[in-house]
Structure 1
Amino acid sequence: MENTMTISVRDLMAYIHRSGNIDNRFRSNTTLTEGTAIHQDVQKTYQEEDQKEVALEHTFVREHLSIHLQGRCDGLLQSDEGPIIDEIKSTARDLSEITEESDPVYWAQAKGYAFIYALQEQLQAIQVQLTYVQKQSKEKKKFLHTFSMEDLTLFIEECIDQYMSYARILLHIREQKESSIPDLSFPFDSYRDGQRKLAGSVYRTIEEKRDLYAQAPTGIGKTISTLFPAVKAMDLDRMEKIYYLTAKTVTRATAEEALKLMGDKGLTLRSVTLTAKDKICFQEETICQPDYCEYADGYYDRINDALVDIMMNETQMTRPIIESYAKKHKVCPFEFSLDLTNEADVVIGDYNYIYDPRVALKRLLPDQKKKTTLLVDESHNLVERAREMYSARLPEREFLLISEDWMYENEKLSKSAEAIYKSLIRLRGEAKQSFVLEDLDGGWEEALERFMEQAEQQLQNEPVDDQSEHLLETYFTTQNFMKILELVDKHYKIIGELEQGEFTLKLFCLDPSHVLQETTKGFRSSIFFSATLSPFGYYKDMLGGKKDDYILQLPSPYQTSQIDLVIAPLSTRYKSREQTAERLAELLFDQTQQRKGNYLFFFPSYQYMNLVYHHFKEYPVNIAVQEQGMDEERREDFLAQFLPGEELVGFAVLGGVFSEGVDLRGDRLNGVAVVGIGLAPRSFEKELIKDYFQKKGRNGYDYAYVYPGMNKVLQAGGRLIRSETDHGSIQLIDDRFLSPKYVQLLPEDWGDYRVVR
């Protein structure tokens, strides 16, 4: 029986023909959407007899291995001299810089399409055209060549022969995976309560190509209960890849541990963990230029050897593994990890690699998405993250600075920035506070495009210094604004934002559900799960859920007797804080005296935390206090102080780094207190969200304030019970916790509470 490897013409030619450096001196970062729009503009100029997006495929057989080559050529044009394969490429470069020799990979791709079409039609020769389109000016530059079938055959055969060794490695890896999945058993002796149901629901959802929203309480083992069935589902037809998406580094580590457990049970597949560029970069500054970074210099000359080496010798490509191979082969670790996503079976990374239009992986093409399942961990976080991702800002001050900085060096650039600054000034008018704009006139896009065009020309060969760095940042801010501007509809408000005298034009996404739904629908299946998708209707609604999606709400596996829940009806409202701070400190100290051990107390803000700390420090207790802007090392030092048998009180901020994703098991944590109901302060934007949902027939106040706030409370309280043997106390301090609205939002296992008067 022959084994078949499928590869696109684009990927084959990139693997064989790429060479040279990573050089991000300036890269305009044309998105897939922009590139598609440019392609469509060119295709509209085709004649009636011309064809676009022509599917082509051919299979090559080598020693019991079939290479199935497939792709779509942009255009198949008819001319008096015969058919022309047209390959369209958008570029930010000046067209005068582009020659026939500029992009060998593009020619290789076009020749691949030409070979398949000429073979199909039994042609002796065929014309191939590269059409470059300048992204800003939309000017075109074309190169046309005629290739004989003999030359094309020789070319494609050489490409296939060069690819064969890598194809055999990929086949070997695939066979390892496919042979290890059927016999893979759950990596624990037994399932916890609810675990089997969650795992079964995930498998069935993937099998039926649907989506699932699951609330699985803390301690149920969500990571293994979603990853294990998703891996087992790789046995299904056309299910090839898993993206495990998280908001925090600590949950990425949990996913890695789950894969290791399955590996110990015999699973053999490849996983890669993506780490942010600024964290994994070997250099002091992330300047991706060959004259600054030895790992960028000649990257594409060395990357294939690095890929073969790591894929043959490693299964879990975590950050330390990637770093060691990157140093060995002298390749950029960040770009290396991105290249590994093409071949890895499981990709672990932040939400933004799928959802953020600025950094989402462009290499994940529609056909690959259909074979990919998303596992979205702690998905309650995605609501606010998506709102940020799909909003954009234009700060008045940045354009003023650019107009001044470049006044003498580049007058055109200076004037284009000045034009935007003056437009922002006109919008601002006499306003003394933030306001809503009904619309932006058409002149805005033109002004922004003019600025971007001038910025691009300046940045093309600009050495990195503070002045050009600021220009680059403002360029990308503007580019993102234009991307988001295309999305603006009834789910948005255009805001003139005034803060401390600074004016910013903002495209504010009130409701990210429609964009999340659009992104999610391209994938085979998506599993959204969290310990706190409560209230369920709110989160399903906000995450873009559909009527036919599956839902699952699992009860807590723990006994209510494990939690001693206390509600202290003390006012924590802003106007009461000074008067109640001393009594609050007393309530917190009393909690530590009920049972000796370690405690974490959460406050709505640093200011309030410091106010209470002033009173609490008078008590004979060891205290660790969260500081603003703690780096990872300092966070780890903070948590390392919570040791079994110690008596330590940690002061932390609600909704901050310690209020979720922190796992202090057993006697590392004996009690938690949450001060306040987690409400965000009233703000212009929150009020817009409230009004928007009110008009949609929802409870706008709950959507804007109550539900997001209560989620922070539940997450913080969830730090306490992490296993079947954990016991401890939770104190909720605020009189509003006793109102029916909030009592209904408490989890079932928190239901048996007592009130401290």
Structure 2
Amino acid sequence: MSEKVSISVRELMEYVYRRGSIDDRFRSNTSMLEGTAIHQSVQKEYEDEDESEVFMKWDYKTAEIDVKIHGRCDGLLKTPEGKIIDEIKSTTQDLEDITEASYPVYWAQAKGYAYIYAKNEDLEEIKVQLTYVQKRTKEKKQFLFNFSMKQLEDFMEETIVEYMSYAKVLSYIKKEKEESIPDLKFPFPHYRNGQRYLAGAVYRTSQEKRNLFAQAPTGIGKTISTLFPAIKSMEEGKQERIFYLTAKTVTRLTAEEGLALMEKSGLRLRSVTLTAKDKICFKEETICQPDYCEFADGYYDRINGAIIDVLKNETQITRPVVEKYARKHRICPFEFSLDLTDVVDVIIGDYNYVFDPRVALKRLMPEHKKKTSLLIDEAHNLVERAREMYSATIFRNSYWQVEEEWGEKDHKLAQSAQAVRKDLHRLNSEEESTITEIPGELEENLERFMERAEGVLREEQDGEETESLLECYFSSQNFVKIFSLLDEHYKIITSKDALKLYCVDPSFVLRKVTEMFRSSIYFSATLSPFAYYKEMLGGQEDDYILKLPSPYDADQIKVTIAPLSTRFKDREQNVDKLAELLYKQVKNQEGNHLFFFPSYQYMNMVYQAFKKFVDVDTVEQEFGMTEERRDEFLAQFVPGGSLVGFAVLGGVFSEGVDLRGNRLNGVAVVGIGLAPRSFEKELIKNYFTNRGKNGYNYAYIYPGMNKVLQAGGRLIRSEEDHGVIQLVDDRFLQPTYQKLLPVEWQNYRIEK
């Protein structure tokens, strides 16, 4: 029996016919929605008997592999001379620069649909049309050719021959995966308390195409308890891909470790870890141009060989593996990792690859999303991240700078920037305030500015002027994109220098994104209070929920509450008392300690007071630490040591850090984690108050206490860990905060 491989017409033709270099000299970052709108506008002009978005499929049989080719044709037009396959492409290029030979890959796609239709309808010939639409002017340019069935058969045979080596690799790794999953066992001798419940809930959720919100305590093994069942649910082929999404590099490494463990237990699948472009780029500057970067030059001529090479020889395609093969084949490591997302089974990366409208993977087609599950680690972080991703700001000075720099060089560009600046000036206010709507002329002027800027940026390549124009262009584009989402979940903030579309309630956008996927698993040690996080993450009534108790004994943690005021007005007078409390903790509990503070300023104040205790070794978190410096900071916490670390609450060391055993013996959390009052926080408070909620809790207390719980969670990471947690603030004794403390922290003593 022949092996089978399924591929879309677009993917097939891009694999075989895409050629050339990566060139981001200027590439309009227009959204897929805009491209869809252009397609729809052309399709609306079709005659009544014409068809659009016509699904087609054909099984192309070869001696070794049957290739199932499928896709949706943009247009199937009926004319007196016969049917025409219409392929629509939007472009930022001037139409006069486009010839019939400009894009062979587009012709290949059109001919692919023509081949399938002609085969299914037993036609001897068929016409193929390429329709280009200029994005700014909406003008069209069309090319029409007639192809015989013989020509299309020869074309498809050449295409399949070229594709066959890749198809064999895909067939091989698919077979490997399918054979390994049924026999895959949990990669530990036994489940920890609660692990089996979590794994079972994840498996059931994925099988039933539902969503799950799970609070699983620190140390339970959430990563393996979600990855293992998600992979097991691939067994029947209904689920093909998993995104493991997280906000922290360290938790990405944990996901890689989980896959490595399962591989030792017999699992054979492919995964790729996505790393930010500026971190993985081989060059000093991330300039993606063929005349600057040899890894961009000819990228598409070499990428197919690189993909086949890595898929044949590697299973876990981590950052070092991506870099190794990228250097070997002389290709861009970032684009290489993105291209691998089309064929691997597990993708590990930041939230933004799925949720951020600016950088989300556009290549993830709707039909792929339906077979993809999301595992969203440390999901409590996604609330604030979503607010950032779905908000947008434009600054008056940015347009003034464009005016100044381009006034003599391009009068029309300067004029368009001036129009936006004047609109913003009319809306500005000395103090931050909200307005109910954005004047229509501002939106129109932004569109004119972007249109003019696009034309200039395609011609101009270098210089500081171009850099500032590019920045202004993209911020304008993002603003217009977010403006299309504007509804009752947003507030429009105006100030002296800026206009901001602020996403007060991100739940609706998160729900819109996740409902396109097969299932979504939100999990964290601190989804507390549960109802708040389920609501804020877009949860609905029929979603599954799971709240697991701690797997550890309460006597592994000794909790102390020290009722010392850490309010801003009391900090200076209490600094010596606080330093003595922390020193007492160190003396009473041998080993390493981490102390967390609500700000760098407060941390440094206490750090200076603490240094009078000369018999204690200390280390302090620095502002803006690089990854290298963070690793050096953590490496100092060695088993059996006696180091005291000072760090910021809510920072890189209070989440996702895993200091097992005697690497950490004590934690102190100073303050209740409340963010300072701000205009935006007050908007959140008022928004939820007006909806019958406790707005102050939503804006301040719940997010603040989440930071406290996360910091305390650094202490107990395994069954063997013991230690102390000291909570320093008199408000920890108030009922509002008491309710939010974990059960295992409830048996506290009060420091006199």
TM-score (norm 2): 0.99
Partners of 2:140 and 2:574 in 1: how far apart? 70
Query: Deviation digits for residues 91-121 of structure 1, max 9, x if unmatched?
Result: 1122222111111111100111111112222
Partners of 1:481 and 1:11 in 2: how far apart? 32
Alignment of 1:346-361 (within 5 A): 346-361=346-361
Query: Deviation digits for residues 501-549 of structure 1, max 9, x if unmatched?
Result: xx11000000110110010011111110000000000000000001011
Q: Is 1:735 the equivalent of 2:723? A: no
| Aligned 8 A contact 1:217 1:531 in 2 | yes
Partners of 1:197 and 1:445 in 2: how far apart? 51
Q: Which residue of 2 aligns with 1:301?
A: 301
Q: Which residue of 1 aligns with 2:117?
A: 117
What's the CA shift for 1:466? 2.2
Q: Is 1:612 the equivalent of 2:610? A: no
Alignment of 1:559-578 (within 5 A): 559-578=553-572
Deviates more, 1:632-641 or 1:228-237: 228-237
Partners of 1:493 and 1:117 in 2: how far apart? 50
Partners of 2:118 and 2:227 in 1: how far apart? 45
Q: Which residue of 1 aligns with 2:530?
A: 536
Q: Is 1:517 the equivalent of 2:511? A: yes
Q: Which residue of 1 aligns with 2:454?
A: 456
Partners of 1:437 and 1:236 in 2: how far apart? 53
The alignment partner of 1:378 has SS state of coil
Partners of 1:207 and 1:220 in 2: how far apart? 23
Q: Which residue of 2 aligns with 1:667?
A: 662
| Aligned 8 A contact 2:56 2:72 in 1 | yes
The alignment partner of 2:83 has SS state of strand
Choose which of 653, 662, 667 in structure 2 pairs with 1:658: 653
The alignment partner of 2:286 has SS state of coil
Deviates more, 1:445-454 or 1:337-346: 445-454
Q: Is 1:645 the equivalent of 2:640? A: yes
Query: Deviation digits for residues 8-55 of structure 1, max 9, x if unmatched?
Result: 000000000010000000110222111111111111111111111011
Partners of 2:463 and 2:660 in 1: how far apart? 48
The alignment partner of 2:297 has SS state of coil
Q: Is 1:580 the equivalent of 2:578? A: no
Partners of 2:248 and 2:472 in 1: how far apart? 28
| Aligned 8 A contact 1:216 1:529 in 2 | yes
Q: Which residue of 2 aligns with 1:490?
A: 488
What's the CA shift for 1:623? 1.3
Q: Is 1:550 the equivalent of 2:544? A: yes
Query: Deviation digits for residues 481-502 of structure 1, max 9, x if unmatched?
Result: 111000000000111034xxxx
Residues paired across the two proteins, number: 751
Tell me the percent identity: 65
Q: Which amino acid aligns with 2:174?
A: R
The alignment partner of 2:487 has SS state of coil
Q: Which residue of 1 aligns with 2:3?
A: 3
Partners of 1:520 and 1:464 in 2: how far apart? 40
What's the CA shift for 1:250? 0.3
Deviates more, 1:59-68 or 1:372-381: 59-68
Q: Which residue of 2 aligns with 1:436?
A: 434
Alignment of 1:393-412 (within 5 A): 393-412=393-412
Q: Which residue of 2 aligns with 1:723?
A: 718
Q: Which amino acid aligns with 1:41?
A: S
Query: Deviation digits for residues 602-647 of structure 1, max 9, x if unmatched?
Result: 1111111112122111112211111110000000111111112221
Q: Which amino acid aligns with 1:544?
A: G
Partners of 1:755 and 1:745 in 2: how far apart? 17
Q: Is 1:472 the equivalent of 2:475? A: no
The alignment partner of 2:653 has SS state of coil
What's the CA shift for 1:744? 0.6
| Aligned 8 A contact 1:216 1:556 in 2 | yes
Q: Which residue of 1 aligns with 2:593?
A: 599
What's the CA shift for 1:64? 4.3
Q: Which residue of 2 aligns with 1:255?
A: 255
Partners of 1:710 and 1:199 in 2: how far apart? 27
The alignment partner of 1:227 has SS state of helix
Q: Which amino acid aligns with 1:403?
A: E
Q: Which residue of 2 aligns with 1:627?
A: 622
What's the CA shift for 1:162? 1.4
The alignment partner of 2:739 has SS state of helix
Deviates more, 1:468-477 or 1:390-399: 468-477
Partners of 1:195 and 1:564 in 2: how far apart? 24
Q: Which residue of 1 aligns with 2:264?
A: 264
Q: Which residue of 1 aligns with 2:499?
A: 505
| Aligned 8 A contact 1:214 1:530 in 2 | yes
Q: Which residue of 1 aligns with 2:740?
A: 745
| Aligned 8 A contact 1:369 1:523 in 2 | yes
Alignment of 1:72-471 (within 5 A): 72-428=72-428, 431-471=429-469
Partners of 1:299 and 1:334 in 2: how far apart? 11
The alignment partner of 2:511 has SS state of helix
Q: Which residue of 2 aligns with 1:63?
A: 63
Output the aligned Cα RMSD.
1.0
Partners of 2:563 and 2:412 in 1: how far apart? 63
Q: Which amino acid aligns with 1:229?
A: P
The alignment partner of 2:368 has SS state of helix
Deviates more, 1:689-698 or 1:123-132: 123-132
Partners of 1:112 and 1:751 in 2: how far apart? 66
Q: Which residue of 2 aligns with 1:712?
A: 707
Partners of 1:93 and 1:459 in 2: how far apart? 12
Partners of 1:228 and 1:121 in 2: how far apart? 46
Partners of 2:445 and 2:83 in 1: how far apart? 41
| Aligned 8 A contact 2:430 2:495 in 1 | no
| Aligned 8 A contact 2:559 2:725 in 1 | yes
What's the CA shift for 1:711? 0.3
Instruction: Flag structure 1 segments of 5+ consecutive residues without an equivalent.
Output: none
Partners of 1:752 and 1:567 in 2: how far apart? 10
The alignment partner of 2:234 has SS state of helix
Partners of 2:96 and 2:704 in 1: how far apart? 56
Partners of 2:175 and 2:250 in 1: how far apart? 31
Partners of 2:462 and 2:134 in 1: how far apart? 24
Partners of 1:474 and 1:423 in 2: how far apart? 15
Deviates more, 1:3-12 or 1:77-86: 77-86
Partners of 1:96 and 1:455 in 2: how far apart? 20
| Aligned 8 A contact 1:207 1:236 in 2 | no
What's the CA shift for 1:3? 2.4
The alignment partner of 2:674 has SS state of coil
The alignment partner of 1:460 has SS state of helix
Partners of 1:18 and 1:666 in 2: how far apart? 52
| Aligned 8 A contact 1:25 1:461 in 2 | no
Partners of 1:343 and 1:686 in 2: how far apart? 42
Query: Deviation digits for residues 102-155 of structure 1, max 9, x if unmatched?
Result: 111111001111111122222222221111111122222211112122211111
Partners of 1:186 and 1:636 in 2: how far apart? 31
What's the CA shift for 1:453? 1.1
Partners of 2:733 and 2:435 in 1: how far apart? 40
| Aligned 8 A contact 1:136 1:449 in 2 | no
Query: Deviation digits for residues 541-580 of structure 1, max 9, x if unmatched?
Result: 0000010110000000111111110111111111111111
Q: Which residue of 2 aligns with 1:481?
A: 479
